[in-house]
A and B are shown apart, each in its own frame.
Chain A
Amino acid sequence: MLYREVGDFKTTYRADGQTFPIAFDRWRYYVVLAFAFLVVPFIINDYWANAILMPFLIYAIAAIGLNILTGYCGQVSLGTGGFMAVGAYSCYKLMTGFPDLNILFCVLLSGVVTALVGMLFGLPSLRIKGFYLAVATLAAQFFLVWLFNKVAWFYNYSASGQINAPERTLFGYKITGAETSAPVTYLFCLVLVVVLAIIARNLTRGHLGRSWMAIRDMDIAAEIIGVNPLKAKLTAFGISSFYIGVAGALLFSVYLGAVEVGEVFGIQKSFLVLFMVIIGGLGSIFGSFAGAAFMVLLPVLLKNVLVGTLGWPTDIATHLEFAIVGLLIIVFLILEPHGLAQLWRVIKEKLRLWPFPH
């Protein structure tokens, strides 16, 4: 009852092929967007922006990127942290090398640079498959981190190897640097997230997305029916890395403001994003958002409950937090291996029939 598609007739192919073919879905989507754009910026404060929303939005981009590669194209990658570092450092070099370049272009260009690097490290995927590939992408992770730490050119020969985001503006509003305001940075990230998510959604529904999925389901069969594995895998690596690079650039320039490569873009980051993708659901854009929300919110929530409300010592709370996050991941995988996105689909099915079970 709550959720119905009866009477929702389509008269054109265009209407039938739209992203949200069901009216209810579509309206819900508009409401969420309207809320995110029109309400949140006015009620947001520093804590919400910096501790919850910004990491959520940025990780959502990264998760969409990894989902393209792992969820749609079936290539498991553990090099996400390294690729994010590429995004961050190219953003830094662009920002300092061309002070007049618009920050938006800096971020997008860093995505392009990352895409190139990602394609380079994607080449072995033509020969290596499965877990061998996953471990092989770790080579990218460790090598890139080492490179950014070692070669002083990347951090402009500063004494300590830290990179700091200088102040940059867009339409007169400060996007990076010290004196940014929460609504502005939030909106900047939000616009990027929404645009990139729409692009990703449409890519995965089109020719390219279908060839990725064919490769994922069985690469030899796909090759036989005429999908070019070189093209499919490399585009997946390239586009996925573009997203991840943009996420890395935002993480550095807008969110953190200062970055040290080993600490921020270490192997933990790769695992974190992979978690998001799997918890959220492989092969689902909504799942990327759900996974990012889950992994960003859960620790903050647990911390606030355990330390803030119950007043436990911080160390015990953190250990417990680890144990609970681990436990929840396992429980989730057991209950619903296909992630939150699948859970959502099941709920939709239930809602369609509710309150009559048959």
Chain B
Amino acid sequence: MPASFYYGVEVMLNGLMAGVMYSLVALGFVLIFKASGIFNYAQGVMALFAAQTLVGIQTGIVPFSHMINAALGTKVHYFGWNVPTLISILLVVGVMIVFAILVERLILKHLVNQEPIILFMATIGLAYFMEGFGDLMWGAEIKTLDVGIPQGGNVFIEESTAFLGGDDFYGFYLDTLDIYATVAAVLLVTSLVLFSQYTKTGRALRAVADDHQAALSVGISLRTIWVIVWSIAGFVALVAGVMWGAKSGVQFSLSLIALKALPVLMLGGFTSIPGAIIGGLIIGVGEKMFEFLIGAPFLGGATENWFAYMLALIFLVFRPQGLFGEKIIERV
């Protein structure tokens, strides 16, 4: 086998791992869409906010310090303590639950029964708000997130596979952080599936997803379910935020990962959890392989941004409801 073949395999492996990360973000979308029919654009900003809050709590940044300093002329920045990672993660989970409750109380409650596009716009408004609010609270500086996950190419895998492709092949390159992220994502997805299949709340969740009114009539509280769903989405956002934040620092661009999840949603269907996972893998592998085989050599590179969308678009023309989406039945 020539070295280029193994490099292709390497690109594919990396694509798979990138795909898992996309799935992770897409999962947050799917959960909310299933339970409340809302296309939650704020998911990306939620990831940013969660990561910011994590760093903020960990390193003891005084919330709103910039504002306080500007208003009162003081100079406070840090409390001067460091909270252990685990405790701060738990605290952030708490924050995200409070956030979910607030979203339900203040926004969703008032927008019941509105058209999907209005709800979508409300989440964009929410995204704007959180972007400003998060920066006001924690400051806009780039922050380093350290949760103790090592980074860098995995030497073991690299060395143990180097014999495969002759002299021109240096072994498979896999980032340790990506491996951790993959494991975390797989765990998260499995537990979510188990949760929704085997717990009472999970069943209620699925019931709501199937039919709001029927669910209401058997005594399921829609509002509780929404809070739960948004909390879970907040948790998923936290995991995504931690993984991406550990890679490139916690800063504004983190919120743009939402855009990477959209083609995954199209491909997998807005309502399907397995769809989000498989869609993520297809997109991850697809865009990396396209860049490797066609994009970089022939088109001048940087094709990844649009390729995923094009792939999904072409796919949708043949299957308008996505890979695993519910079949769209329309009646007059």
Contacts and interface: CB of A to CB of B under 8 A. Distances in A.
Physical contact A–B (CB less than 8 Å): yes
Given A146-B302, A319-B132, A326-B132, A218 B332 contact: yes
Contacts of A76: 117
Nearest to B263: A135
A39 interface: no
Interface stretch (B92-100, B122-130, B221-229): B122-130
A316 B116 contact: no
Contact of A326 (B70, B126, B135, B140): B126
A326 B306 contact: no
B70 A124 contact: no
A130 B320 CA distance: 10
Contact of B310 (A139, A271, A323, A324): A139
Interface residues of B, number: 53
Contacts of A313: 66, 70
Given A124-B317, A128-B316, A323 B328 contact: no
A271 B39 contact: no
A323 B125 contact: no
Interface string B95-113: 0000000000001001100
A321 B135 CA distance: 11
B66 A315 contact: yes
A189 interface: no
Given A275-B121, A326-B131, A333-B118, A124 B313 contact: yes
Given A271-B124, A313-B70, A323-B128, A128 B118 contact: no
Interface string B313-332: 10011001110000010111
B155 interface: no
Given A132-B321, A220-B330, A323-B133, A278 B107 contact: no
Contacts of B259: 138, 267
A318 B133 CA distance: 10
A276 B118 CA distance: 13
B300 interface: yes
A89 to B, nearest CB: 16
B262 interface: yes
B309 A136 contact: yes
A348 interface: no
Interface in B117-153: 117-118, 120-122, 124-133, 135-136, 140
User: Interface range on chain A: under 10, 10 to 19, 20 to 34, or 35 or more?
Assistant: 35 or more
Nearest to B136: A319
B270 interface: yes
Contacts of A150: 299-300, 302
B217 interface: no
A301 to B, nearest CB: 16
B266 interface: yes
B273 to A, nearest CB: 17
Contacts of A267: 259
A176 B193 CA distance: 59
Contacts of A282: 117
B125 A138 contact: no
Question: At the interface, is chain B mostly helix, strand, loop or mixed?
Answer: helix
A329 B303 CA distance: 34
Contacts of B262: 135, 138
Nearest to A325: B128
A203 interface: no
A306 to B, nearest CB: 11
A316 B137 CA distance: 10
Which of B125, B262, B266: most chain A CB closer than 10 A? B125
B131 A322 contact: yes
B118 A330 contact: no
A130 B120 CA distance: 12
B129 A224 contact: no
A334 B107 CA distance: 7
Contacts of B332: 218, 220-221, 224
Interface in B250-279: 259, 262-263, 265-266, 270
B306 A142 contact: yes
A328 B110 CA distance: 14
A323 B136 contact: yes
Given A135-B263, A319-B136, A333-B122, 12 more contacts: A127-B317, A139-B310, A150-B299, A150-B302, A319-B132, A322-B133, A323-B129, A325-B128, A326-B129, A328-B125, A329-B125, A333-B114
Interface of B: 39, 66-67, 70, 107, 110-111, 114-118, 120-122, 124-133, 135-136, 140, 259, 262-263, 265-266, 270, 299-300, 302-303, 305-306, 309-310, 312-313, 316-317, 320-322, 328, 330-332
Interface of A: 70, 76, 124, 127-132, 135-136, 138-139, 141-143, 145-146, 150, 218, 220-221, 224, 267, 271, 274-275, 278, 282, 312-313, 315-316, 318-330, 333-334, 337
A-B pairs, 5 with minimum CB distance: A322-B132, A326-B129, A326-B128, A329-B125, A323-B132
24 contacts: A124-B313, A128-B317, A128-B320, A132-B266, A132-B270, A132-B322, A135-B265, A136-B266, A136-B309, A138-B259, A138-B262, A143-B306, A150-B300, A271-B124, A319-B133, A319-B135, A322-B128, A323-B131, A325-B129, A326-B127, A327-B125, A328-B125, A329-B122, A333-B114
